[in-house]
Structure 1
Amino acid sequence: MRVLTDEEKAALRVESFIFHAVHHGQPEPTLHDGVSIGGFAEFFIERVVETLRGNRFTFDTGSTTLRALRGIEADPATFVEASKDLARRLHRTEGHEMPDGRFKRGILMVTVLSAGPRRFHSLIKYDHGERVIDIVERGSAAVLEEVVNPLTQNRKALQKSALIELDDAGGQLVVVDHSKRSGITDFFRGFLGVRRAQAEADLTKAVERSLRKTVQTHAAELPPEIGSQWRQRLRDIAARRREFEPDQFFGDLFGANDTAALRATWRGQLAANEIDGEQFTFDPDALPDTGPTRYRTAENIDITVPAAARDRFNWERQADGSVVITIRAGALTQR
């Protein structure tokens, strides 16, 4: 999905909004014919904007959700009935209610939004605990108030959300699934009918490109152990963490060298490589080949350290700014 500018975020408007109660222990969802969003529009727009920090997906051919959203685009009068069909599908698996407790009680919010000429669809599964049935019976206005109040205290109650922009090829989605933050649960994937926009190998390589450009941009201010060894540090972090989360990775790699300018460059590079907000599992085969590490001293002495001998090489900066280099070798040959 093309990034929303700050101006487009500010211009977001709700065109249609409804919700239905799902996963509340009944054979069928509790469906509504209409819900007035009242003064809560801005609140839900903010929740939609938060979804932009999610993972990118595209629709599979034959996605039932895509077909429903295309129907709404073709005829806005079908919005309510299409939303009910979506709620029925979310409520059930292969035609059966879900009694195993894997999916928490909640509501499905379906929203159509616009920002200038751009149109979006938002699907949010909000976990609402035991209160759903009682609240629904008291009327939709009461539900909105009950939903908004706990949301301000627990944003993760927005358990699953998808922001969708349709296009000629199908559509582009940004998805947040708190049950599997580095990807998407099989259930939500099946409901949406989607696949990851980029493979994990491509995402891993995009991190490498983003990191390389960030280090190059700030080479003068970064210590040599980062400037010359960032590839190895990337491999080490990937082996230890396995999953990529942008802020956590940044802290692991740059540590105390964090500056506002460095962080801005990093975020800018993530956006340039279209992985801002993405979380995923590293593909080990796509990580950079570290190869030999090369150094040059102020006296123009060149040192090449093969990857296999990296544990035999060490350097330490002294108080006067000089560097003591230690190479532990089994033998030394002059060439």
Structure 2
Amino acid sequence: METVLAAGIALALAACGDLSLVDSLYREAPGVLRFSPADPVIAVGVDLTLSVMGGIAPYSIVSGAVTPLDDHTWEFPATSAGNFPLQVSDGAGKTVETLVTVYSGGEPALNVTEVTLPEGVGWTFMVTGGTLPYDWELDGLFQPEGAAPNASYDFLPAPQGTYVVEVLDFAGVSQAAIVTVAPSGVGVDVLSITPLSAVVMPGGTVAFTAFGGDGNYSFSATGGSIDNANPATYVAPGAVGTYAVNVADGSGPPGVSAAVVVTATGTLPVLSPGSVTVSALDDEVQFSASGGSPSSYTFSTNKPALGSIDPVTGLYRQLAAGNVVVTVEDAVGLKDNTLVKWNP
């Protein structure tokens, strides 16, 4: 009833030419007319679901080739690369536009998408693939550019907490990494290693970190290679199988071990859309996945209190202010991350 009343008032004010009052009404209820997601980036061959939120129903597409799914949702078929503007109008004559970027070719790939750091330790992220050059963001803030093509980023020592590093290629395609900074535990806690397990493609990398013990760490692996830094970079062998990564400290073996499964599925899973911005609470984004082991995908977020996602369907909803990492995991445990940016 309130929505119908608001629609009638808005239409009457618009007819009288009182656009300032119409704008005021939009700010209070039912919300600013907007696309969700805004300015998405997707790969050729991936269909995108776009919703219009806020404003005054009914909605109609002014320009753009889309297929209606319901009264406020459309499907955009990404049949060719390029930039495609879409415009929609509502019942009060308001219009809003978004730009859909469709890219061809591969996505940028980080050396690791998760790393846990002891306090006082940094990490260098590296990226390959996608379209050069690259940009880097830390918790949504652009970082100073390095030497072209800007293919690495130094995460400097930081206080305890969780951080998000995101790389964006020239086409706007992104991948995100979660950085967790924790106390080293040296001289206080028993020796431990994280992660305790990992799934990786042949030649892929995993960052293993030791905590506790006496701090004199020595890493080894039963297959592939690993350096002796902390975190230690493990490079998987070309042969599929299950291997062990071990860390010992000055007290000697046996130390503690983690399991690494090397799997060959052909490709890594890829989230779509690959770059997402939302501007209001309750905005929804329909995520999908391709590649990897496609028999099943599981979706999750790193901050469920800020953004929730249906683990099966991939429907995301913004619950509170803040950036959120969305992760998809395929049937064998391979993952991809992307960042949902909060920009009200």
For the aligned pair, the TM-score class normalised by the smaller chain equals under 0.3
Larger Rg: 1
Higher strand share: 2
Q: Normalising to structure 2: TM-score of the pair?
A: 0.25
Which protein has greater RCO, CA pairs closer than 8 Å, 6+ apart? 1
Q: Normalising to structure 1: TM-score of the pair?
A: 0.25
Higher helix share: 1
